[in-house]
Structure 1
């Protein structure tokens, strides 16, 4: 996160000097609280579940410091945009350039082609300070896991940089036209906060990444800066102590109460934002500011907080990529130690020099370096600059891994408070209800809208990843599943739809759940809540309760409308193209050509028959992909030239679904009736 150890007083004046306020060690200590919270959350999220609010603390600090510099300069000798941005460059670019160079170099050596292309995009967007928009555009259930994006953390830096561009200009305009600055700050804060709370449920990703819904946190710091410039600090005493205690208490409360599954930022972000506000407002003599935040260890961490923030995430992300899973606690702890070492070295030998130097060529060189990273990133993204692992077949498997088409071509609509993806204008209204194994058929609906639009029904998708469409099922790792599932169930039983298609990764939830030691991490997340009884799927009998409930729902619903049960495609070992990548990333790595078929395991075959019988008993219409995909005990995983038909171990790729998933057509189309013959004369 970017920070400023000191803060600054007029409109542009080439001879003006930015005015910085007196250094406050307690603000460096508050930075330490912020960065340690983020590091703890990223390395050990099970221990510090709300640690991501450290970013919000950084926003408030930056708003306070930067607004103090700008307003103080306006009210003093004058404000120089050139000096302001030169100082931002010398403060932000050196450490960032080091981290981008190291991340790109290691990525070239270790990443697979699709990962390398994505890293190139992230390097370019990071160097161009638009990472928040890049990650916003990528967000989704099948976006690469956040833990494997080495530059994901630059989204917050991008928002701060966008603030540095926007805020001096707006304040300069307000100063020139003699507007009331506090009103300007308040209006921007109110508009941003209103956008945040009104979009957090309907457009959660936008609310998280958009600068427009985040600026209010920086504005809170800006309001405090204005107050401190025009109103003296309260005299030392209980008032300051109370603010200091309240500030840290609100931050601790946020760390304890806020979770990733909650609607964040939303109203929840008030806790860390106000906490930071009160900590800064308390001044350096507030009791906890003086004895905790201004302590030598906290100040030391605060001084290196910016490079520490930059270094820690690429190290954790690359550790996960190399391990292929969540690294052990020891490895993650080692990455944090390495982060501290690299951060101190960066601060001691790079940052201290660039901050103090008045040599203009340093600033120009740093800008040129950042432009160079944009160019390098774009070359990597476009394929002109390839990584070390460049076997052409890597690209074929990589293309399959990225081939996910949902919700492309569909339009979001809101029905009874639920956001659906819709396509088609036929008379029959069909609801597709389930998880990503329903979503994977979106491309087929889009294809039918082009090739047979007259037969396409009005299709609506209500889905949530890894969330089975069965009442009373609880997923410990998916806080929003129950809310989304219950909303979908209300639509399914309503009169707004004539037909409902139930689908899901049944094999993920119910295959081998009678074996507590089975290598089935997905099933171990789920349990059936039967009153006060918590029946786990894996080894606890909860799967039987869930399937009985599914049958009850299908039976009741079949009496009133058409109901389909979509059976699952084969999943697991042997179907995902990534499983044919052999060797270590740090050594020689190869990718094997996929043979056409893989075995259909007996447990999945038995579950498939059980699901078929559930459909028959309940009166639901069976949709079965197996006759197309499988012959006896062997199922297709690649075509004749070894092109994978799966994107991963569980999902069919969009290209295949678009062309060949005709088994779903019966639920998507109503054959056009021939025109009635004219009556005889």
Structure 2
């Protein structure tokens, strides 16, 4: 096909959208649509190349893939090399493990599925610090390169002059599957091939149709091209199109891109839009677009990982380095190494595809085996990792589920062989109290059977509706497992029953007795109070002493950034910089009053509040002897759990020695 400068102009538009969006420019809150523009262009270009070669009877799969590999892989591998060096310099052990796995998945062209698995969303804040996140689209492109040429070849051989009908049939089918995927799993559609295939097929269809489409005269072409370009800019400026993306906005973006490709074929110099897209400066950005895409996110992610404030100066430097690296990459890697496409395809596959796959897989395995190589940092991190490992309860993660299951007999802590027994149930916050209750159990010589159900309010007679990931339905497994817990309490007559929850989280309207119940906060509070009363009554009637484990202080949102910043930047640490004031919300206060009311009704009820030792004088510890209190979104580390339990045992009467 003949070179079209306006296509490079469209690439420039796409990469400008992406750069401004990833750079945090508020004027372009939906600049991610640039990826959709790239996908349509890719579908158009590879179909144009393959279709023309088929018409000329010169098409060769080996030549096609050889050219693609030498066009894309050299700069791609250079960026992975540089990103790997940066990750080894700056990334903490758990983050280096994630990075190494992402590098391996990227060279294997499976990064989109990997990031779909490990991130809650492409737009989640934590995604901003993954240096190879943007490789999801390159992985998806390679998946298309493996599929689309085969489809075009097969359709051409079977349909030949009716190729367009086969492609359009596939287009409508793939759009249907994309639409259904967006409706069923809106939070997991962004990265997936099934959601994006139709975008490439739209480019493929215009490539085959283009010779048969009419050439517009100047005025309608001018009007249509300006309208299409304006509409793309308008969509990029919208802030409400994220849900379920790629959605109908993605379809509109693809249609507008197809329109501009068609109008460009009418003569790129014919319209103002064509002249702008074909101008030397815009085309130059388009020529750099692949390298710009490769480099920009690595730079942005590393800056954000280091918690560097993005001032105007810092952002200017981020964009400057992006363009400098992109130009050098394009000038000295992309352009010269395209000549490698004359080499044997098997040599190309061996050295440019297989060797990187083997190397990154081995690197990933090595990093995982060596626990993220904490020794890269100062001795402090090594000591922290060792303490966390030393105090880790290996069995604890197996004693929590989101299904109705039998409790494994090895889920015990305290004094396992003691005749005095206790049962500890609750949600994941009960699970993070293992160290705390292990200390109390050992000192009181009580054997504690412990099991938790994730995000489950383990009180009898209630359901959680539209809760966690159970959208518009009840969390049935929570209800079923809770029934098992209370049957166990009635049957076994434990000395103690311990209820541990992140109590204020359940202060909501989502607590019901049965499907169809009216829902409100007032009714939710009444149902919680009645369910807790019923739970305590069952426990007391079984001859057990009830113990409520209150919630630890809720973690500050920036805790991990605060605590690990000094390690990443290799600076000394002052524990005061991350401690925080205890704040009780409306749910906390209501729960405290409910517990007091229940204690008045059931005098044998004991309340354990870990905040009494974590937050003395209202100031909450973020670390204990330099070891972080929190391990993730709010759960405490086993080290913190154990040492908070030890502090509690020293300052308060052990509740497991009474009753």
Task: For residues 132-168 of structure 1, give each alpha carbon's deviation from its aligned partner in whole angstroms, at most 9, with x where no partner exists.
Answer: 0000111228987011101101111111110000111
Q: CA separation in 2, counterparts of 1:375 and 1:44?
A: 35
1:332 aligned onto 2:315: yes
CA contact (8 A) 1:311 1:339 kept: yes
TM-score (norm 1): 0.67
Q: CA separation in 1, counterparts of 2:56 and 2:557?
A: 69
The alignment covers a number of residue pairs equal to 545
Q: CA separation in 1, counterparts of 2:614 and 2:335?
A: 69
TM-score (norm 2): 0.69
CA shift in 2, pair 1:252/1:317, >3 Å = same
Matched residue, 1:75: 55
Alignment of 1:239-638 (within 5 A): 239-259=220-240, 261-283=242-264, 284-323=268-307, 327-360=310-343, 363=348, 365-371=351-357, 372-383=359-370, 386=373, 388-389=376-377, 391-395=381-385, 409-410=401-402, 428-431=461-464, 452=485, 489=509, 492=511, 495-496=514-515, 552=522, 554=524, 568-572=551-555, 580-581=563-564, 583=566, 585=568, 588=570, 601=581, 603-604=583-584, 608-609=588-589, 612-613=592-593, 627-628=609-610, 630-631=612-613, 633-634=615-616
Matched residue, 1:44: 24
Q: CA separation in 2, counterparts of 1:456 and 1:146?
A: 43
Q: CA separation in 1, counterparts of 2:607 and 2:585?
A: 13
Q: Which has the higher helix share?
A: 2
Deviation at 1:335, TM superposition (A): 0.6
1:197 aligned onto 2:183: no
CA contact (8 A) 1:99 1:310 kept: yes
Deviation at 1:630, TM superposition (A): 3.5
Q: CA separation in 2, counterparts of 1:557 and 1:626?
A: 23
Q: CA separation in 1, counterparts of 2:298 and 2:606?
A: 44
CA shift in 2, pair 1:144/1:71, >3 Å = same
SS at match of 1:431: strand
Of the three residues 185, 193, 207, the one matched with 1:225 is 207
Alignment of 1:92-103 (within 5 A): 92-103=72-83
Task: For residues 81-129 of structure 1, give each alpha carbon's deviation from its aligned partner in whole angstroms, at most 9, with x where no partner exists.
Answer: 1111111111110111111010000111111111111110111111111
Report the structure number with the largest CA radius of gyration.
2
SS at match of 2:32: helix
CA shift in 2, pair 1:452/1:335, >3 Å = same
Of the three residues 85, 89, 106, the one matched with 1:105 is 85
**Structure 2, unaligned runs of 5 or more:** 405-453, 470-474, 491-501, 536-547, 646-659
Q: CA separation in 2, counterparts of 1:122 and 1:281?
A: 37
SS at match of 1:78: coil
Q: CA RMSD in A?
A: 5.0
Deviation at 1:43, TM superposition (A): 0.6
SS at match of 1:73: helix
1:182 aligned onto 2:164: yes
Q: CA separation in 2, counterparts of 1:650 and 1:54?
A: 36
Matched residue, 1:510: none
SS at match of 1:651: coil
Q: CA separation in 1, counterparts of 2:397 and 2:208?
A: 49
CA contact (8 A) 1:63 1:220 kept: yes
Q: CA separation in 2, counterparts of 1:410 and 1:424?
A: 12
CA contact (8 A) 2:222 2:272 kept: yes
Deviation at 1:285, TM superposition (A): 4.1
Q: CA separation in 1, counterparts of 2:2 and 2:158?
A: 29
Q: CA separation in 2, counterparts of 1:624 and 1:160?
A: 60
Deviation at 1:228, TM superposition (A): 1.6
CA contact (8 A) 2:97 2:371 kept: no
Deviation at 1:184, TM superposition (A): 2.5
**Structure 1, unaligned runs of 5 or more:** 1-20, 413-420, 437-441, 458-464, 471-487, 501-548, 662-681
Deviation at 1:296, TM superposition (A): 1.5
CA shift in 2, pair 1:287/1:127, >3 Å = same
Task: For residues 322-361 of structure 1, give each alpha carbon's deviation from its aligned partner in whole angstroms, at most 9, with x where no partner exists.
Answer: 126x522321221111111111111111111112345527
Matched residue, 1:173: 154
